[in-house]
Structure 1
Amino acid sequence: MSAPDHYFTARPASPGELRTLDVRLRGHEVRVTTAPGVFSGDRLDLGTRVLLDAVDDPPEQGTLVDVGCGWGPVTLAMALASPGARVVGVDVNARALDLTRRNAAALGLANVTALEAGEALERFAAEGTRIDELWSNPPIRVGKAALHELLRGWLGLLAPGGRAQLVVQKNLGADSLHRWLADELGMDVARTASSKGFRVLTVRPPRP
């Protein structure tokens, strides 16, 4: 089965496709721009809401990353919580990146950058950048092999004291992903929340 089209939309939305949405992001009431052709383009999806409600604030400084940023709710929440940090939203969807940039600019969040996922990995490797905090509602429906490749790449960039917060639907393999992260990647994994059919997994690099 191919991945849903919204993962790979190649062009930004036209003016006629844009819509506004009022959402609450970790205590902040914000108005954002969304469009069809991105993940959960008409609402704040339940998994993302569970993630944002469950996790502690990210670090005040350092590099924070949202993998699979969509129209930007997690990126925006991280940037609002940590205005002194560098916040990077990454996605394979050009429309999603454009919306994240629009929304960050509209909210005055100058600490946000939105990058194509492959470009971001290359840039981080070239810079020697390590990630202090990563939040993600990962694209489970791309398939297990693609998901594992994605997570292996991004989690491998965590700083020694870094942390990832992942939200995964229980019936889409949250518990098997927990085991894979621990057994195959050697990560320190804890289930820190379970709500509305979703698990929130806190992932840390293996201890030396």
Structure 2
Amino acid sequence: MGEHYFAPRPDLPGRPRTVDLVLPDLHLRLETDRGMFSPERIDPGTRILLETVPAPPPAGHLLDLGCGYGPIALTMAARSPQASVLGVDVNERALERARVNAITAGLDNVKFSLPGEVDPGLRYAAIWSNPPIRIGKAPLHELLRTWLARLSPGGTAHLVVQRNLGSDSLQRWLIGQGWPTERVASRSAYRVLAVTARPEESDSA
């Protein structure tokens, strides 16, 4: 069932498998399991995000919000080896797989944590996310309000969202909340939104 991927401890019995993330600059074999997001293949939205976003900042703190078993965070870590990458998720089974995948990939500049374990004072030069749209509009908005407020001055978040799951309305909501937001890519019914730090947050930092 789809709701299991945002459960802290999915009650589905495990069924480990591997998937391949193949990008022009990277090939990762990732361990997955039941009860997490897109365990049988790299989600098309994730692939589109990774194929269209500009290179992440070379240093500083970078965030994958809703990391699952780690394809986005691990790509950030591989592309910016001097940066400190954090993947956060509520799904403990997915976090366990993500940690294994980081070790297998030889990436020691990435960590995976539950949201409550993260220092709220950290600021992020970039956030990449395939956000959990299916948790519902109110929880999603609260999630984005919490983490987008942690962008560094001048930082940018890239979010990939299906058009039929509300990418356009989400863009309008983000703009209404004060985050400058533009669509920077569109492919196969997915939209990639670039969200920059609120001007007042940049001015006060």
**Aligned 8 A contact 1:76 1:104 in 2:** yes
> In structure 2, what residue type is equivalent to 1:88?
L
Aligned to 2:100: 102
> In structure 1, what residue type is equivalent to 2:129?
S
**Aligned 8 A contact 1:25 1:73 in 2:** no
Cα drift, residue 172 of structure 1: 0.5
User: Given the two structures, how large is their TM-score scaled by the length of structure 2?
Assistant: 0.92
Q: Let me know the Cα RMSD of the aligned residues.
A: 1.9
1:186 to 2:178 alignment: yes
**Aligned 8 A contact 1:67 1:89 in 2:** yes
Aligned to 1:145: 138
Cα drift, residue 118 of structure 1: 2.6
Aligned to 2:3: 4
Give 5+ residue unaligned stretches, structure 2: none
> In structure 1, what residue type is equivalent to 2:123?
R
Cα drift, residue 98 of structure 1: 0.5
Describe the SS at the equivalent of 1:51. Answer: helix
1:169 to 2:165 alignment: no
**Aligned 8 A contact 1:131 1:159 in 2:** yes
List structure 1 runs of 4+ shifted beyond 6 angstroms: 11-14
> In structure 2, what residue type is equivalent to 1:204?
T
User: Given the two structures, how large is their TM-score scaled by the length of structure 1?
Assistant: 0.91
**Aligned 8 A contact 1:12 1:95 in 2:** no
1:201 to 2:200 alignment: no
Describe the SS at the equivalent of 1:17. Answer: coil
**Aligned 8 A contact 1:69 1:90 in 2:** yes
Moved more, 23-32 or 38-47: 23-32
**Aligned 8 A contact 2:20 2:42 in 1:** no
How many residues end up aligned between the 2 structures?
A: 200
Moved more, 30-39 or 144-153: 30-39
> In structure 1, what residue type is equivalent to 2:99?
R
Query: For the residues of structure 2 that align with 1:17 and 1:27, how far apart are their CA atoms?
Result: 29
Aligned to 1:93: 91
Task: Spell out, residue by residue over 1:139-191, the C-alpha distance to the aligned partner (whole angstroms, 9 max, x if none).
Answer: 000000000000000000001111100000001100000000001x2011110
Describe the SS at the equivalent of 1:4. Answer: helix
> In structure 2, what residue type is equivalent to 1:76?
L
Describe the SS at the equivalent of 2:82. Answer: coil
Describe the SS at the equivalent of 2:81. Answer: coil
Share of identical aligned residues, percent? 49
Query: For the residues of structure 2 that align with 1:169 and 1:43, how far apart are their CA atoms?
Result: 17
Aligned to 1:117: 115
* Candidates 117, 120, 130, aligned match of 2:123: 130
Give 5+ residue unaligned stretches, structure 1: none
